[in-house]
Amino acid sequence: MIPSDLKKKWARFWMNLSGTSIGGRVATHLGSLFVPKYLGRIELAYLNKKGYISPNASIEHKNLTLGNYVFIGDGVKIYNARNGGRVELDDNVHLNDNIYIQTGQGGNVKIGKNTHIQPSCYLLAYKGSINIGSDVQIAPQCAFYPYDHGILPGELIFKQPLTTKGDIKIGNDVWLGFGVIILSGVTVGTGSVVGAGSVVTSSIPDGSIAVGSPARVIKTRA
């Protein structure tokens, strides 16, 4: 049995060497040997300003900017395709397991401080961008699509160009429930709550509570 204080010293030593390089990934792996998986490893993100990037996260994005103490969990994929823009994760952002972020055709992703995104969410920034504020809580299996697909007759759908009604903007202190889908051109106002399973097709004012498909405001937090 290894004493707990020795485990902490081990983790702190290796996490001080962590980072996005191959050597940094190896150090992260060694630092997490005696730490429980998933939520247990969030604590490792606070041992080094470089944060915690899971050794099996897949990051193929040259325009990725990380703030301090960022947590990137197992199976996270950050990918740049077809002239995608930037991905910016501010301080203390948590990307939990199996989140997929992809940029293409000029789209960007920006996530503000202290925003936590739970597993299996999709952020696909094509044509438009995804801008998420600070202190936002996003439940599992949410999806963000700032683009639409052409469906004109006379041409195969997969050959038709993507279009957009505008960027997706999520204000500060927003809570999105399980399985929420946000479509292009939508702004979710500061302090709003969107109920589980909702499909948001039009903007929601500050401080609102919205549910349904399409989502409708049912009351305000005030």
Interval 183-197 mean pLDDT: 98
Q: What is the Cα–Cα distance from 126 to 132, expressed in whole angstroms? A: 16
Pairing of strands 208-211, 216-220: antiparallel
Q: Tokens 């604590």 belong to which residue? A: 43
Domain ranges of the chain: 1-52, 56-220
Q: What pLDDT does residue 150 have?
A: 85
Quote the CATH superfamily of domain 56-220: Hexapeptide repeat proteins (2.160.10.10)
Catalytic residues: 149
Report the alpha-carbon distance of residue 64 to residue 32 in Å, rounded. Answer: 23
The residue behind tokens 């952002």 is 93
Q: Is 53 within 8 Å of 59 (Cβ atoms)?
A: yes
Count the Cβ atoms, other than its own, within 10 Å of residue 156: 6
pLDDT tens-place string over residues 15-70: 998 888 888 889 999 999 988 887 789 999 999 899 999 999 999 999 999 999 99
Global pTM reads 0.93
- Other CB atoms within 10 A of residue 149 CB: 12
